[in-house]
Structure 1
Amino acid sequence: MDYPATAATLDSLPNGLTLILDPDPAAPVVSSQLWVETGSLHEGSLLGSGISHFLEHMVFKGGGRFGADELATTVQGAGGHWNAYTTFDRTVYYIDGPASGLETFLEVQAAMIFAPLIPEEEFEKEKDVIRREIDMGLDDPDDVASRLMFSTAFTADPRRHPVIGHRGLFDAITYADLTGYHRRRYTPDRCCLCISGDFDAAEVREKIEALFGGFVRGSGAEPVVPEDGVQLGPRRGRATFAVPASRVTLAWKIPPLGHPDVPAYELAAAVLGRGRSARLYRRLREERELALEISAWSWSQAGRDGIFAVSAEAEPEKRDELIAAILAELEELPSSAIDDELAKARRQIAASQFKTLTSASGRASDLASNWHEARDLDFTRRYLAALNATTAADVRRAVGKLTEDQLTISILDPEEAPAPAALKPASRHRPEPECITLPNGATLALLPDPRVPILTAQVAVRAGLVSETEATSGLNTLLASTLPQGTIRHSAAELAGRLESLGATLGAATGNNALLVQLSGLSPDVPVLLPLLAEVLAEPAFHGDSIEREKASQLASLRESLEDPLSTAFRLARHHLFKGQGYGLPALGTEESLANLNRLALSAHHSRHFQGRNLVIALAGDFDISEAKDLLAEGIGRLPEGSPWLPPAATTASDFEIEAYLPKKQAVLALAYPGCSALAPERFALRMIQEWCSDMAGPLFTRIREDLGLAYQVGATQFHGHDTGLFGFYMATDPSQVELAQAELSSEIAKIANNGIPEEAFERVRATVLSSLALGMQAPASIARLAAIDVLFGLPVTHHREAAGIFQKLSPGDVKSAAGALLEKAPVTVRVLPRE
């Protein structure tokens, strides 16, 4: 299966703006992405200040004929989902939505990117917002560990600085700095506009010329971007943080994209650390139990050094032994047989690349990235060909260059830890979904889609958080992590090896109402994949050593979540809202409950819930219906019929306030209300309320974040239960402003309770929700998940297709009534504050 050559066109306007047009009528959606070739590398005298990221924020404050609110409401009214991100070498502005909104999306992008207002009165307000974002990054161990690695590996290269900038340098940015940076860097000749989806190329080209053709080409030299010299010896960086386990990265600089060694390093990373059957995972986590988590990765850019690295988490006392073991594995690889592992790696990478072609957004990102890195729209195809042509000898030779002199080790330790010693053409016709029931009561939901040779099987089992007690808290999470760790017939290594040799993935997760198992792979492998899925479901081994390893990893995640302000706020809110039972239990469990979970508990839970009448298997993607029915009937038929498991009734509390304290810089506020059930008619109206409260054009964002600058993060969330769910509001703010922020949030909630969504905003919100539905039904994995959960709750397999019609019938009065009923009670309120 060769990666298909693109049918997209590459062109440019007279002012230098590059155009990539990729018409595809498979789904009535589009993705419009404008890539600006500027990022934190290009900040010149303002290097390290984060001005590129700051500018990304400020262009959302209006442009052209649009004010700030008009930008958001216009995009929302057209059903668009928009955002932006800044990296070292690019700033990308994207809008995904219905094909009918494309002209609107293009007008908005032209206005905000090339003719932004950048209002001076918003300058300091947005600075405060980003200061909160900087503080959040400093509270995030993943962010801190990443900063440590880059700042240790690079000495002159600007990538040693965080993209968001250093606080002191950021504070020094002036309004003139910001507007001048926009004038110099945001020019059409430095930009690429890439559009993928359902549109007419000739018509869209005319619209682009009209909207973008009048902007002037840039002038002046590019900034000088320093590069590191040759590394002459190992580099080490260490810091401590409030984390339960040590985070270790061993990194080596590798050549830029385009060098013949780059494919070899990507394959080496896959052989060493991609998946459960990879060498490092199998040997150092499963067999020697030195690592809690471990992976390897390779990252390359055009024109600049890349990074090959191994990243791991370990208990502090095993950290040094793990580092030595990783180095020993790297030293051994050049002299070992790796042909079978390379075949598996190529399959994994091909499967991952094919998945990008299942959505308009993925296709646009792939094409724009190809232009950005190589000025070749078929670069992905050529790169995959280079991977396939890379031999075992090439990989051995490349890994042999990873010497100690070129090594960078970065370690983020717990505070008390001692320092270390030393893609196919799309089909326009999709067969209709169908459901069948097997003799043992299991339901098969079949949703064929032959556009891309990818298949996803999603299993939903009636269980989840509500099936636990205080004593068994965390059981479903442990079961989900242990389930793929081997069967009665295959060890964990054998199972992982068989799956990953096919480029397939299998994983399990738990939610509030169900335990989910997902299998994804390439369509030709269905006869192998579906029997393996059935084997995992029906015959898990629950080996004691696997249980203990997963318990240790779950315990580390639990301890980390206890240090996260937002996680802590909602953990406490759920606990008090549901009186410590059912949905009020922590999904990761507690230290006490985890200590008592064992093979007997897992086996008993599996036996009770993994029964035919408790289980739905949804299959989406490219597969033969008759073949799939036969394979699943044979494999899943081994499960007993059993009896449907019925969850206990939930009881809720309200009007409760609690404060908690953590050694963090920001304060977090959470307000939790009893929500609705998964089948409640009002769930559609509450989805509208959630969107209204989470959108950049909604009341919480515009009032609390934009007008008052009180919060970087503010929004709403919800989940549906069997009988009662949760609807919550949250915000992160400066501790000194928490009282005002809480008052303002409560005031906005009261307005929503009394008024619902204003009529002038109602259609915009509806358009955004409808767009979310369309965007969420592109990939087989999403469709399978939606169908499995719907059918588990007794809804038709086509319910996800019918939801749009239900939202179309909602009126402002329906939403107002649902909001009033939801918010009539006093909430459970949690404030997480910095510890003095």
Structure 2
Amino acid sequence: MMHLKRSVLAISALFLLGSGPLLAAPGKAAAPATLEAQAGGFSSYVLPNGFRIILAPFPAAANVRIELLVKTGSKLEGYGETGMAHLLEHMLFKSAGPRKDIKSDLTALGASWNGTTNAERTNYFETVAAEPDKVDAAIRIEADRFIRASFTKEHLASEMTVVRNELERNDSDAGSLVMRALQRQSYFWHGYSRPTIGARSDIEDAPFSALQAFHKKHYRPDNAALIVSGNFDAARVLALAGKLFAEARNPASPKITSWTREEARATTNRSELTLPAGKTIAASAWKLPGMTERETYALDLASSAICAEDWGSLRKELVLERKLAVSAYCGTQIQSDYSLLIASASAGKDADAEALSAALRGHLEKAAANGISAEQLERARQNELTAWERLESDHETLAPLLSQAELGGDWRLFFWQRDMVKAVTLAEANAALKKWLVAVNRSDVLLRHADGVSAPEIGKATPAAGLVRGKTWAPVAKSADPIPTSVGELARATQKITLDGDKARAALISRRTQGNLAWVVLANDYGNEATLSGRRAACAMGNNLLAYGGAGLSRDQLSAKLEALQAEWSLGLGGIVLEAPRQNIDAALDILLAAWAAPALPVNEFERIKSASIASLEAALKNPGNVAATQSGLRFDNYPAGHPLQPRPLEQQLAESRAVTLADATACVNDFAGIGHVRLAMVGAFTPQDVSATWSKIARLPAARIPYARVRDVAVPTTVDTTPIRISMPEKPNASITGAALLAMTDESPDFPALRIAVKILGGDADSRVWKRLRETDGLAYGAGVSLAGSSFEPRSRVTLQASAASDKSEAALAALQEELVRALKEGFTEQEVSRAKKAWAEERKNMLRAEKSFAGTLAQGLYTGHDYAWVAQYDAKIARLSTAEVNAALRKYLQDAPIVWAIGRGN
């Protein structure tokens, strides 16, 4: 995945990339776009050069998403080209035509942006405010990126090290290694067998000319599309995009296509890995037909009865009943040519890998042979359809699905897939399970011989055109209240409601939301310093356990009831977070309140939670970055022994987790699960009377046995051991580098806004000094930055400098971080840097205004800290008034003499 980065355009024409889409002859008028298809309120148009424009209007949205889709990925890479599609994705964030840095241009728009590569495609996308000028600017950026990319040899030399670091990060992750091995075993001929990241040798040694040639072959208008979703003027977007992308011409050579198919063979493949991961993992995969086959969706639906986290049989057997694993997962990966059903299970480092693997694959194949019930199929179907309904108010989630369908042959497959979910019968679902989930179609073990066995044959894919021709679908987007245009507007919309003095407070934003969703956050502050001391592990497990059933319902039954109400929820000692359609909120909340009042606290779930905690800590002890970060935190430990906020060594955390009993976890629930100090936040079509009625239900719950008092933090330590920390472990190619300091200030301190902007300039975004130095100029780090975490009460705020680099580059990355901090303290920041950071802050705040889902959480937090939307508006006004002198003074005041603990966790 592409992350933020910036570089300088090389001037020398010798190194300019001249192999992208050809430009049309100057002065020749472009032919208009032709309407190609319409469905669900969306439409697509085709230019004479084959470039497609897909428009998905959502008039109620507050923003617009623009995606440039290029239909090439790792499956089309040739010998010596592995990883080239992904590397090219990185290159196309460099210069283009008159643009020196595409990332800086996107950042200046206030855009949220990224790029991704997979087996099928490379895409570049950004989300901007629903302002016509910004939408126009984003489309112009994508046209320049596509037609006039001008990356250089110098860009490749710099970015190659970043991509290699990304490879090394993946090589440090046990789960990634297992999935890549499974991918290779699942396909013998097809390009899906190649991981997108590519081979190290190709990343390091591929010549610049090869990258140019790959770009010329694949980046052509008849192999690309522009997908625009959200709130925009369709005629304006179509006219501009049509004019800009019509300039591109296809080369004389034909478009690269894929005709390679897998042969049906009765095989079971196996691969084994051995590495110090601190855990045991087993995984299996069964090959399935591709995206345009009804059978694929039949199996996808049917597998829910096995794979669903809350009610599926796999987790119940392997984790809860047999206790062979601490986690178990399965699900389908649907792609254009072939799909996979993937299952995996993990356990502690001493687990029997053979037994785990046998149990995993045995459960899937036995469950498939037995089939599922009509009730299970309908539950899975309803969950899928509920997810589809959510898309009606979420174009940013819907647009990538249109993109995926376009890769399958036609974007309208998006609607056809929903039709399949509605139409699949029980007989089809069980037939698909029995046909495809068989041992001779599986990857995980060695080849075995068996007479009279044949693998199911996957025929040629059904053409997408026949599946969608002549069909119509109802519009997807629904109306809603306009998204707020400022924090001040949210502040004015906020209603504070008195409930029960200091015992309970409430805040409400009443609005007609997208999709008529509503949110309730019931935050329950509990405990005090004395009663929470020494109980971190026990109460963490009790907190997790609380969600696993109650009021006579198992977790499965509880989940089923809430699924029927289309609810998303969480439940713990700290209260309830609930999202559901407004008409279902009251019923869903009643269920959760009843479960909270009478929790089940099942012993098998406790044992699973405890095992998972132990396995996680054992893995952390094998990760040098985690060990180094923990040791860094201990340097600032000036807490009384047992204080609830005291940092603890990983070994102590592991010992505490091993010692926790069900009685310990249950005691935490008994002490703290009642009503302590309530903060109630509600967003949606609610009235103040609705808030009072909700509180009347909550108030009937029993009070917590232990009174609540906020746990106070301690003062910043006066002395800190700043001896550098270096942790080395074998076979860890990636390193984590950090520098941490505690500051005697709160986010209410007069200097805090100025320090916030100083930190942003130093390392807070794509245009920051740390990012440019470590990622762009030196190519040392995949990620690098600086963060500021402010304390809202006691003066104990934290600044952290961090980078992720190859282990052999860790010392250089550390030196670069230190040098940039010293340079900032010595030279200060310029007027231009301060102005840029303030503008970027304002644009980021606009993005917050568009996330209705976050409003209730902000209201609840504001009731705790006092930082409500009115406070945020005042805070932003302070930032807008900051001078360069104030920003530089704050940086020097708090970081000039602050003791900083530098730490490196790396491979040796």
Return 5+ residue gaps in structure 2 as ranges: 1-37, 447-475, 484-489
Deviation at 1:576, TM superposition (A): 1.8
2:766 is matched with which residue? 696
Answering whether residue 738 of structure 2 is matched by residue 670 of structure 1, we say yes
Q: CA 1:635/1:381 → structure 2, altered by over 3 Å: closer, same or farther?
A: farther
Answering whether residue 867 of structure 2 is matched by residue 795 of structure 1, we say yes
1:375 to 410, 424, 429: 410
Among the aligned pairs, what percent are the same residue? 21
1:482 to 533, 541, 545: 545
2:286 is matched with which residue? 252
CA deviation digits over 1:221-245, x for unaligned, max 9?
A: 3154533211312112221222233
| Stretch moving more, 819-828 or 389-398 | 819-828
Deviation at 1:325, TM superposition (A): 4.1
CA deviation digits over 1:637-667, x for unaligned, max 9?
A: 4142774421132343445132222221233
Mapped to 1, the partners of 2:434 and 2:872 lie a distance apart of 52
User: What TM-score does the superposition give when structure 2 sets the normalisation length?
Assistant: 0.82
Q: CA 1:61/1:718 → structure 2, altered by over 3 Å: closer, same or farther?
A: same
| Stretch moving more, 528-537 or 469-478 | 469-478
2:377 is matched with which residue? 342
Q: CA 1:697/1:473 → structure 2, altered by over 3 Å: closer, same or farther?
A: same
Q: Name the SS for the 2:903 alignment partner.
A: strand
Mapped to 1, the partners of 2:211 and 2:847 lie a distance apart of 34
Q: Name the SS for the 1:14 alignment partner.
A: coil
CA deviation digits over 1:402-436, x for unaligned, max 9?
A: 1111112279xxxxxxxxxxx66122358944343
Q: CA 1:700/1:809 → structure 2, altered by over 3 Å: closer, same or farther?
A: same
Deviation at 1:530, TM superposition (A): 0.5
2:776 to 671, 686, 706: 706
| Stretch moving more, 254-263 or 776-785 | 776-785
Mapped to 2, the partners of 1:579 and 1:89 lie a distance apart of 53
Answering whether residue 478 of structure 2 is matched by residue 425 of structure 1, we say yes
Answering whether residue 328 of structure 2 is matched by residue 275 of structure 1, we say no
Mapping of 1:276-315 within 5 angstroms? 276-302=310-336, 304-315=337-348
> In 2, are the aligned partners of 1:477 and 1:587 still within 8 Å (CA)?
no
CA deviation digits over 1:546-566, x for unaligned, max 9?
A: 222101111112222333344
2:577 to 512, 518, 533: 518
Mapping of 1:438-517 within 5 angstroms? 438-439=499-500, 441-447=503-509, 448-462=511-525, 471-507=534-570, 515=574, 517=576
Q: CA 1:424/1:119 → structure 2, altered by over 3 Å: closer, same or farther?
A: closer
Question: What amino acid sits opposite 2:523 in the alignment?
Answer: A
User: What TM-score does the superposition give when structure 1 sets the normalisation length?
Assistant: 0.89
Mapped to 2, the partners of 1:189 and 1:632 lie a distance apart of 59
> In 2, are the aligned partners of 1:787 and 1:800 still within 8 Å (CA)?
no
Q: Name the SS for the 1:285 alignment partner.
A: helix
Mapped to 2, the partners of 1:58 and 1:501 lie a distance apart of 46
Mapping of 1:177-188 within 5 angstroms? 177-188=210-221
2:248 is matched with which residue? 215
Question: What amino acid sits opposite 1:425 in the alignment?
Answer: K
Q: Name the SS for the 1:61 alignment partner.
A: coil
Which structure: larger Rg? 2
1:720 is matched with which residue? 790
2:157 is matched with which residue? 124
Deviation at 1:797, TM superposition (A): 6.0
CA RMSD of aligned residues (A): 3.2
2:608 is matched with which residue? 549
Q: Name the SS for the 2:149 alignment partner.
A: coil
> In 1, are the aligned partners of 2:807 and 2:906 still within 8 Å (CA)?
yes
Q: CA 1:33/1:691 → structure 2, altered by over 3 Å: closer, same or farther?
A: farther
| Stretch moving more, 247-256 or 27-36 | 27-36
Q: Name the SS for the 1:276 alignment partner.
A: coil
Q: CA 1:788/1:216 → structure 2, altered by over 3 Å: closer, same or farther?
A: same
Mapped to 1, the partners of 2:408 and 2:871 lie a distance apart of 42
1:540 is matched with which residue? 599
Mapped to 2, the partners of 1:17 and 1:467 lie a distance apart of 67
| Stretch moving more, 73-82 or 672-681 | 672-681
> In 2, are the aligned partners of 1:484 and 1:506 still within 8 Å (CA)?
no
Answering whether residue 715 of structure 2 is matched by residue 648 of structure 1, we say no
Deviation at 1:93, TM superposition (A): 0.7
> In 2, are the aligned partners of 1:348 and 1:502 still within 8 Å (CA)?
no
Mapping of 1:86-97 within 5 angstroms? 86-97=117-128
Answering whether residue 497 of structure 2 is matched by residue 436 of structure 1, we say yes
> In 1, are the aligned partners of 2:90 and 2:159 still within 8 Å (CA)?
yes
Question: What amino acid sits opposite 1:50 in the alignment?
Answer: G
How many residue pairs end up in the alignment? 813
CA deviation digits over 1:446-492, x for unaligned, max 9?
A: 34443214344334343699999784343454233222112253233
Question: What amino acid sits opposite 1:544 in the alignment?
Answer: V
Deviation at 1:21, TM superposition (A): 2.4
Question: What amino acid sits opposite 1:108 in the alignment?
Answer: I
Q: CA 1:385/1:151 → structure 2, altered by over 3 Å: closer, same or farther?
A: same
1:419 is matched with which residue? none
Question: What amino acid sits opposite 1:705 in the alignment?
Answer: R
1:597 is matched with which residue? 660
CA deviation digits over 1:280-339, x for unaligned, max 9?
A: 22333223323211222112122x110012222234535444444442454245545522
Q: Name the SS for the 2:247 alignment partner.
A: coil
Answering whether residue 853 of structure 2 is matched by residue 781 of structure 1, we say yes
2:171 is matched with which residue? 138
| Stretch moving more, 266-275 or 560-569 | 560-569
Question: What amino acid sits opposite 2:245 in the alignment?
Answer: F
Deviation at 1:603, TM superposition (A): 4.2
| Stretch moving more, 608-617 or 360-369 | 608-617
> In 1, are the aligned partners of 2:527 and 2:672 still within 8 Å (CA)?
no
Q: Name the SS for the 1:227 alignment partner.
A: coil
> In 2, are the aligned partners of 1:235 and 1:409 still within 8 Å (CA)?
yes
Mapped to 2, the partners of 1:526 and 1:227 lie a distance apart of 49
1:227 is matched with which residue? 261
1:739 is matched with which residue? 811
Mapping of 1:400-411 within 5 angstroms? 400-401=434-435, 402-409=437-444
2:725 to 658, 679, 690: 658
Q: Name the SS for the 2:440 alignment partner.
A: helix
